[in-house]
Amino acid sequence: MSDQVELGNYVLVRRMAVSGMSEVHLASAGAGPMAGRQVVVKILLDDVAGIQQFRTLFENEARLASVLTHPNIVKFVDCGESDGRPFLVMEHVDGLDLQRLLRRSKRSGEGIPPAQGVYIVLKVLEALEYLHSLSDETGNPMNIIHRDISPSNILLGVDSEVKLGDFGIAYSEQAGLESFGRKFKGKVHYLSPEQVRGEPVDLRSDLYSTGVVLAELMIGRKPFDLQRFPLGGGRGFLLGGSLFMIRLFVQVNLQVAFDAGLELVSGLLEL
């Protein structure tokens, strides 16, 4: 007797993660264009599948994922429902997330090479440039804000792929996607000040969070822990450049800040 669990056209292989709202499984596609290939299936938990608020959040994530097409954003594959539980199918990125890479580097004491860190952030910025400039079929800006830029949502493939994932709390004014008010959402170390205060956010909030990720990659620890971990030498110089980018990202002129940030990151890559 087989112990395999089937979900629509997909066979669940193993559970990768679980949160208060959903569980994520590595799966194998049994039919369609992805037949025989590994995918990632995100399923709404039984405990919340009957609550409309959570179903709407999940449906919003699937709807947004289905319109995003960019080499640095995790690809949408499918969505559906099985036994009353909605599910979302995304491509499987063969590798690890940036959070795991940071943990490994801390354990080894070697740190992530600055050029590698800058390359990762540059690819995230390319994903955000696409995301922030996306328009709907009528040409109206969708004004999509990811709202959860953090190492655990940046996936690194074995072929130097860098992909931004997890749009579970993303906001789009034009598409009507909102995760039930502007409550405190995201991972606290990477949130912009306006997110922490529960205020309305715009595209600069994502860029601020990206700057915090860059700073952590450059110095090997979260940038706002520096009172406990003072820096000196070359890492201090890299931190200064990273925090300069964070300041740029909260300026009034978003496009100037974004262009300057890209120029700064590209310049660091050439060092």
Annotated catalytic residue within 148, 159, 166, 225: 148
**Residue 152 to residue 97: CA distance in whole angstroms:** 6
- End-to-end CA, the chain: 59
Let me know if 148 is a catalytic residue. yes
Single-letter code of the amino acid located at 149: I
Distances in whole angstroms, Cα of residue 200 to Cα of each of 167, 176, 191, 195: 18, 15, 13, 7
Catalytic residues: 148
